[in-house]
């Protein structure tokens, strides 16, 4: 049942621990309609997810972050710090589905200190309020070799960021197995995409190209990559979140199976930009020295083995379950980045 007034923005802080949804009093009759809530709503994935939910599933959307920004007139904005359990619980109250899409800068210590806490707080909040949880995950915990990666691939974390991501996923899997929360894991490989998409591929390849500079390729240009187009990731996650039978599982989000090397990706970029694009391959010795004074290179260092082997991220399960879903090709994605 709809309620008579809707708050446009809430601030969740130490004084707001009532676990109610709204701006003040609610009668026993006036209740907020179930909402779909995005925790970490300001990033590229959260933004595109909000647009997809609004287009296809619901206009009752709550955007939660430290500084949320409205995307649609009907959005509810909630300011909350996910490091605080009570703020997280208050932000989740009244939600039917909660999407955890929070992202942090690629800083290993920051990840280790904050991401597991955010996951624990989110699980507890969803358990308390009976909300379903959709977790947007990555592949850092997978072995960094050329073996095909499926939903059954065992975790073999190497490096701090990989251990953090393995701990987060394991924490949620344990909570699911214990019946604490109804949840689903949506796992994606490295991003590429428009807008503010943050990835090493965007930073090293597409951003320099757009700025008229020479792109750099990590380690090798001849290994096969599987990259996910960020709008596809968000569309797929919205679909999974609104498919009741999808819960209790891990899903690999859909990627173009016509995989490319970095050499091939830059050839596509040359075609889209209408000019021959020269590039350099940044070898391991260059990374070794550059990491001494460059934070970004330092954070990429532990991931280098991923770029030295073929990457076969397999999303067949999703494609069988949702055969009507159209995956963006690499040629289409690169052309869209050029036009953005």
Which pLDDT does position 213 carry in this prediction? 95
Give the pLDDT confidence of 175-186 residue by residue, as tens digits: 999 999 999 999
- What SS3 state is found at 281? strand
Instruction: Give me the chain's average pLDDT, please.
Output: 89
Instruction: Tell me which H or E stretch contains 296.
Output: helix 295-301
pLDDT above 50: residue 21: no
Model confidence at 6, in pLDDT bands (50, 70, 90)?
very low
Q: Which spans in 71-159 are helix H?
A: 85-92, 108-129
pLDDT at 10 over 60: no
What confidence tier does 335 reach under pLDDT thresholds 50, 70, 90? very high
Average pLDDT on 282-303 reads: 78
Residue 290 or residue 165, greater confidence:
165
**For residue 77, is pLDDT > 70?**
yes
Question: Given this model, what pLDDT does residue 304 score?
Answer: 87
| Plot region of 94 (φ>0 → left; ψ -120 to 50 → alpha; else → beta) | left
Distance CA 307, CA 303 (A): 7
Confidence bin at 107 (pLDDT 50/70/90): confident
Beta strands in the chain, from DSSP E residues, in sequence order: 9-11, 35-39, 61-65, 76-79, 95-100, 132-137, 183-187, 191-192, 216-218, 224-225, 228-229, 250-252, 260-261, 280-282
Residue 31 above 80 pLDDT? no
**339, 276 Cβ separation under 8 angstroms:** no
- For position 22, what pLDDT does the model report? 39
- Lowest mean pLDDT, pick from 54-63, 96-105, 227-236, 296-305: 296-305
Per-residue pLDDT at 23 exceeds 50: no
Q: What are phi and psi of 186, to 5 degrees?
A: -110, 115
169/282: higher pLDDT:
169
Per residue in 166-223, pLDDT (tens digit) is 999 999 999 999 999 999 999 999 999 998 888 889 999 999 999 999 999 999 999 9
**Which one is predicted more confidently, 31 or 132?**
132
Residue 29 has pLDDT above 50, yes or no: no
């Amino acid at each position: 049942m709809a309620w008579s007034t809707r708050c446009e923005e809430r601030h969740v802080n130490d004084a707001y621990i009532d676990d109610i949804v709204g701006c003040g009093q609610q009668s026993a009759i006036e209740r907020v309609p179930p909402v779909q809530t995005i925790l970490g709503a300001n990033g590229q994935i959260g933004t595109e997810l909000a647009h997809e939910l609004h287009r296809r599933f619901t206009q009752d959307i709550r955007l939660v972050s430290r500084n949320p920004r409205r995307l649609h007139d009907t959005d509810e904005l909630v300011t909350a710090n996910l490091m605080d359990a009570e703020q997280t619980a208050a932000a989740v109250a009244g939600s039917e589905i909660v999407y955890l899409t929070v992202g942090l800068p690629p800083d290993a210590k920051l990840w280790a200190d904050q991401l597991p806490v955010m996951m624990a707080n989110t699980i507890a909040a969803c358990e308390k309020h009976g909300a379903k949880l959709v977790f947007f995950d990555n592949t850092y915990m997978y072995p960094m070799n050329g073996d095909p990666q499926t939903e059954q691939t065992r975790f073999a974390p190497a490096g701090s960021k990989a251990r953090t991501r393995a701990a987060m996923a394991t924490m949620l899997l344990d909570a699911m197995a214990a019946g604490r929360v109804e949840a689903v894991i949506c796992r994606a490989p490295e991003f590429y995409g428009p807008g503010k998409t943050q990835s090493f591929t965007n930073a090293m390849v597409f951003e320099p190209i757009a700025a008229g500079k020479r792109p750099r390729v990590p380690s090798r240009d001849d290994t096969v990559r599987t990259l996910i187009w960020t709008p596809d990731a968000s569309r797929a996650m919205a679909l999974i979140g609104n498919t009741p039978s999808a819960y209790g599982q891990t899903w690999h989000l859909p990627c173009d199976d016509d995989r490319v090397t970095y050499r091939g990706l830059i050839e596509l970029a040359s075609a889209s930009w209408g000019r021959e694009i020269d590039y350099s391959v940044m070898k391991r010795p260059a990374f070794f020295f550059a990491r001494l004074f460059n934070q970004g290179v330092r954070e990429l260092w532990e991931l280098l083995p991923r770029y030295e082997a073929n990457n076969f991220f397999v999303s067949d399960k999703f494609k069988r379950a949702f055969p009507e879903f159209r995956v963006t090709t690499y040629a289409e994605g690169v052309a869209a980045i050029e036009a953005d």
